[in-house]
Every structure is written in C-alpha cells, then in structure tokens.
Structure 1
Amino acid sequence: MSSCLLVTCLLSAIAATGYSLTCITCTSLTDIICEGPSVTCSSGDDSCLLSYIVTSMGGMEISKMYIRQCGKSNLCSKTGSISLPNGRMKAGTTCCRTNDCTPDKPVLPPDSHEKNGLACKTCFAPNANSCDSDLLTDCVGNETVCINQITTRTGDVPSTTAVRGCSSKEMCEPSRQVWNLGKITVNVENTCGNNGIYLQPNLLLPILSLWLFWKSLC
C-alpha cells in the first residue's frame, strides 16, 4: 500500500511540474551541422530547431550558418528568402520533438531569376535601427512581399542592422524571433506588406503600349 502511494505521489509531482524538453544548442559558421551542449528548454518551447542560413552577395556565397536551439513548432518546416541590394539570404528550419534529437537537414529554396512584377525599396544599414531608400529592386520567384527587417544583437559586440527588400511570406512569420546563442542573443523583427510597386504581369504590356502611344503624341 505504501509503495502504491509513493508511486502515485511521484506521478503527481511529474504531472504538476510538466515535461521539459532538452535540445542541443550550438552555432556553426560552416556547412557542417554543429554539435553542442544539451540544455533544458523553456516551458513554451516544444521542439528542437535546426536552422540553416546562407547569404550571397554578387552571386557568390559569403557565409553559411547552422543554428540549433529550443523553439516552438510554428517555426518548423519553413523555408524562404530575402533579396537585398546585390545579395540574397536564404533560410530553412526543421525540427524534431524528442530529447536532444537531430532534425533533418533543412532544404533551402531554389534560386529564381523570374521577375514576379513586384518592386520593393531596398537598403542595407549597419549600425542603424532603420533605413530608407529610393532604390527599388525587382522581386523574383515567390518573394511576393516587401520586408523591413531589424536585427539587434547583444553580447560582447552589440549591434543593430536594418535591411529592406523583397521577401517570401515565410520569412515574415513570426514577426519577432529571439535566438539565444550562448553569450549572444539575436532579436529579429520583421514588418512585411505589399507596400512596393506592384504590376500584374498581364498589365505590363498594355501599360507599355499606352506609354509608347503617349510618347508618339508628344
């Protein structure tokens, strides 16, 4: 009887405290998935995340990064891209839900050079919390929204960077992300919308014809 009572008390204690997931946390600046220490996740985190981020400038890859951390399931199986001045950032995230598991390697979206009719303001401002520009970039592929992204990094070398450009919708959600990378915390805030110049592809030819007709009258 006393043994049954003890087991009941233990089960009640476990149920009261809830189950805490543990995940590997690490960062790698290579194309090899990193390994690191196991940490106990916060109560709101239900998944172990693996993110892969590749940044290109002038058509050449300049950085690759793997990030493993605790997170929420709404970030799972997401891929997307952001086009910046003369560059592009592609990202993918996968997840798993058991202790210290290793998610599948994220698959990044393919490159596209097909314009979709949207043009967004584009700028890049290091050491600033905002940027604006009259420069427009033509959006391609599934980058169907304009994004304004502010990244704040705290730690040994704090910094804030603002960028604007074309983006796929997947990069906009959630609007705020916090990455805890050891001694560094990265806070990313996204604001997205179709606030660029958008021309439906089937309207481009009539508008061009109208412009040529108007020029012939002048």
Structure 2
Amino acid sequence: MSSCLLVTCLLSAIAATGYSLSCIECTSLGDTLCNGTSKTCPAGNDICVLSYIVTSMGGMEISKMYIRQCGQSNLCLKTGSISLPNGRIKAGTTCCKTNDCIPANPILPPDSTTKNGLSCKTCFAPNSKSCDTDLLTDCVGTETMCINQVTTRTGDVPTTTVVRGCSTKDMCEPARQVWNLGKMTVYLENTCTNSGIDVQSSLLLAIISLGLFWKFSC
C-alpha cells in the first residue's frame, strides 16, 4: 500500500512540473525547408508548426516562404488563400508534437477562377496603418470572407502593413496573435466579415502578412 502511494505521489510530482516542448524556430525563402535553433515553447504552445506561403502576382509566383515555430494544436492542418489586387497568397500549416520534430510538408489550396458572388474591397498598403479603398475584387472558389488586417512588426525594420481582400473561411480562426521570431515580434489584428457578420482574426493571415513583409522589406 505504501509503495503504491509513493508511486502515485511521484507521478503527481512529475505531472505538476509540466512538460516543455521544444521546436525549431526559423524562416527561409525559396523551396528549401529551413533549419534553425531549437527553442523551448512558451506555456500554451503544445505543437511544432510548419507554415508554407506562396505569393503570386500577375499570374506568376514571386515568392515562397517556410516558417517553423511553436504553436497551438488548433492551428494544425490549416490551408487557405487570400486574393489581393492582381495577386493571391496561398498558405498551409502542418504540425507535429515531439521535440524538434519536422511536420509534413503543407498542402496548398488549388487555384480557382470560379466567381462565388461575393466582392470585397481590396488593397495592400505597406508602411501604413490604414487602407481605405473603393477598389473591389470578385471572390472566387471558397474565398467567402472579406478580410481587413493590420499587422505590426517590431525589430530591426519596424513596420505596419494593412491587407484587404477576399479570404477563405479557414483563415478567420483563431483570434489576435503575437509572434516572437528571434529579434522580430509580429502583432496581428484583423477582421473578417461575411454579410456584415464579424468573425475572429487569424494566425494563418499573420503568416501570409509575414510573407508579404519579407517580400517587400528584404
């Protein structure tokens, strides 16, 4: 009886100390997956996330980016797109749950040219906190949400960027995000609307905006 009680106490003590996952933190431009430094994840981050973003303008791919970092399990298997003036950004995320693991390569959503009846105001404004526009874009495929997002980056090159356009619904979850990527911190706040209904902001859109930051600031 006493030995069973001792084992129970030991297990309780181990559980109380918690378990800290470690994930690789890095970013890379191009087709090659990045490999960086192992970081201990903060509380609440229980997975290692891999994000892949492809930006196209005028029908041509102009940038590709991989991001690896700590994250939360509700970010797993996300995929979506956002349409901007004469361009589109596609993004996908995958995850794994062991120290410094490598998630499967994300699968991006297929292209679509089929209009779905929704039109959204659209603009991309680097180095700005607002993006007022009368320019509209016709949404296609599963892009059934209108996005207005403000992303602020601190660090060596601080900047604020505003993005508006059509978006897939999957990008409107979860809410506000703060990313700590080495010397850079990214703060995200966006609003998705569908027939005037407000929904939550998106980590995946933060990934997309980060990809735009990299493209236009490097």
Give the TM-score band, short-chain normalised: 0.7 to 0.9
Distance 2:143 2:38 in 1: 36
2:78 counterpart residue number: 78
2:48 counterpart residue number: 48
What is the Cα deviation at residue 100 of structure 1?
1.0
Q: Are positions 1:148 and 2:148 aligned together?
A: yes
What is the Cα deviation at residue 12 of structure 1?
4.4
Distance 1:180 1:29 in 2: 19
Distance 1:184 1:61 in 2: 26
**Letter aligned with residue 14 of structure 1:** I
**Letter aligned with residue 80 of structure 2:** G
1:184 counterpart residue number: 184
Percent identity, aligned pairs only, is 79
Q: Are positions 1:98 and 2:79 aligned together?
A: no
What is the Cα deviation at residue 173 of structure 1?
1.2
Distance 1:128 1:15 in 2: 47
1:169 counterpart residue number: 169
Query: Which structure would you say has the larger Rg?
Result: 1
1:63 counterpart residue number: 63
1:25 is paired with a residue whose SS is strand
Are the aligned partners of 1:69 and 1:180 in contact in 2 as well (CA < 8 Å)?
no
Distance 1:67 1:44 in 2: 19
Structure 1 stretches of 4+ moved >3 Å: 3-13
Distance 2:4 2:143 in 1: 60
Are the aligned partners of 1:83 and 1:167 in contact in 2 as well (CA < 8 Å)?
yes
Distance 1:80 1:111 in 2: 10
Distance 1:10 1:63 in 2: 52
2:15 counterpart residue number: 15
Distance 2:88 2:16 in 1: 47
**Letter aligned with residue 81 of structure 1:** S
What is the Cα deviation at residue 177 of structure 1?
2.5
2:117 counterpart residue number: 117
What is the Cα deviation at residue 88 of structure 1?
0.7
Corresponding pairs, count: 194
**Letter aligned with residue 181 of structure 2:** L
1:31 counterpart residue number: 31
Q: CA RMSD in A?
A: 2.0
Gaps of 5+ in 1: 197-218
